[in-house]
Amino acid sequence: MLLLLMLIGALVGDALGVVLVPLLPALKPFTSIGLAPATLDLHFARLTLGFTLTLGPLTALGLLLGFLLYRKL
């Protein structure tokens, strides 16, 4: 339940960030962390794995609100 609430909070915060960044440039994402895509090619199948987290102020706020909502439940 915690992961679901934090994921929803991050998605809502990121969506608000996309809408508000043209109006308030200070809300743009400030860091990006993750693993570059790695590919395993077996000639009959190809598997690509990677993960990137782009964190901005509203995304962080959404994560925090998701966590606080979980603690209230």
- Domains held by the chain: number: 1
Percent of the chain at pLDDT > 90 equals 63
Does this model's pTM top 0.85?
A: no
For 21, the domain range is 2-72
pLDDT band (50, 70, 90) for residue 25? confident
Length of the chain: 73
Backbone angles phi, psi at 40, to 5 degrees: -110, 115
Q: Is the pLDDT of residue 1 over 90?
A: yes
Q: How far apart, in whole angstroms, are the C-alpha atoms of residue 64 and residue 73?
A: 15
